[in-house]
Amino acid sequence: MQNLISIRSVEDILPAYRGTPIESLIVYHNFEGVPEKYERAEILVGMCMDNRKHLHIPDNFAYIIRSGGANLKYSEFKVSYAIGVGGVRYIALIGHNHCGMVNLASRRDEFIKGLIETAGWKKETAEEHFLQFAPLFEIGNESNFIITETIRLRKRYPKVTIAPLLYLVEDNKLYFIDEN
């Protein structure tokens, strides 16, 4: 993934995010920062539902929405709630490499077979379900999707600071996605 910016020290945090809850998120997760006590959420984290990812953050620090591919399009009311009621002014949008929402068509047979064997669905129902929803949840390339989703959310919530990040499952670290 060539468009990632490594965060090996606090000095590597991009200037736009220093002194913000986005910096705190990175310090907690990448550098095992000493957690403060939080009475309310400082940030909204949108991340994939993938079970290989776990953030090291303190209690009450973040609202977290987990959705396939970190796609918040169908969770937008929850995003609005975190902003409107929760007062959140920062969002970390975190994709990850090796995401199952990439190239969903290649997993069609596995998906259908799993619904038949595990959920007891009929083959036709499982096929129809895949055909109806796979196009809505396919994200293409992980980094490109996160950038596109970041741009979409910035237009929707212009006063909210949004950081595009990628979680590498090989080292369990967060990286900035280069927007240029």
Question: For residue 164, which of 146, 142, 180, 152 has the smallest C-alpha distance?
Answer: 146
Largest CA distance in the chain: 55
CA triple 116-135-107, angle to 5 deg: 45
Would you give per-residue pLDDT tens digits along the chain (180 residues)? Answer: 569 999 999 999 999 999 999 999 999 999 988 888 999 999 999 999 998 888 999 999 999 999 999 999 999 999 999 999 999 999 999 999 999 999 999 999 999 999 999 999 999 999 999 999 999 999 999 999 999 999 999 999 999 999 999 999 999 999 999 998
Q: Does this model's pTM top 0.85?
A: yes
Domains of the chain by residue range: 4-102+140-177, 105-138
Does the domain formed by 4-102+140-177 have CATH 3.40.50.720? no
Under 8 Å CB-to-CB from 80, ≥6 apart: which residues? Answer: none
